[in-house]
Amino acid sequence: MWLASLLVVVVTVAVVGAIAGGVVGAVLTAALCLPLVLLWVRWMQWFLLAGRVRWSAVVPEACVTAACLAGFSVVTSVHLSRAIVWHADRYGPIGVVFVLMSWLTWFSTLLLGGAVVGHLLHLRRTGSSG
């Protein structure tokens, strides 16, 4: 179910991203898709925690993660295609694999890091210790 929801979000962002190209298009796409990504991240955290955490408790984590992913999408639009071409020319097909694995690593780090930072903000705001 989580993978299906991820695919829906990715396809939606790709369709919206087809409106304009370049950095301006990436910023526009990030701005237009931020609410969708925010809702997806909020649902994802609630779903993966099996509903043990209230919806309101995952709001800080969702906000931080969605903001990180929006920034990451802008950086990716500028950097990823150039990196793929450069590494393909220099190292061949394995270079493309390394670039895509690096992208997946950063994406995963942002998902986890956003949740951790958001949770720390939540703890600080509520004054609880964990």
Q: What is the average per-residue pLDDT within 87-109?
A: 95
**Number of folded domains in the chain?**
1
Range of the domain at 59: 2-126
- Higher pLDDT pick, 39 / 55: 39
Determine contact, residues 64/118, Cβ cutoff 8 Å. Answer: yes
How confident is the model over 1-50, as pLDDT tens digits? 989 998 999 899 888 888 877 788 888 888 888 999 999 999 988 888 88
% of the chain surpassing 70 pLDDT: 98
pLDDT band at 130 (very low <50, low <70, confident <90, very high): low
What value, to the nearest 5°, has the Cα angle with vertex 46 and ends 50 and 11? Answer: 115
Mean pLDDT of all residues in 68-85: 90
Residue 129: pLDDT band by 50, 70, 90 thresholds?
A: low
**Whole-number average pLDDT of the chain:** 89
Q: Which residues contact 114 (CB under 8 A, 6 or more apart)?
A: 41, 61, 64, 65, 66, 67, 68, 69
66-72 average pLDDT score: 91
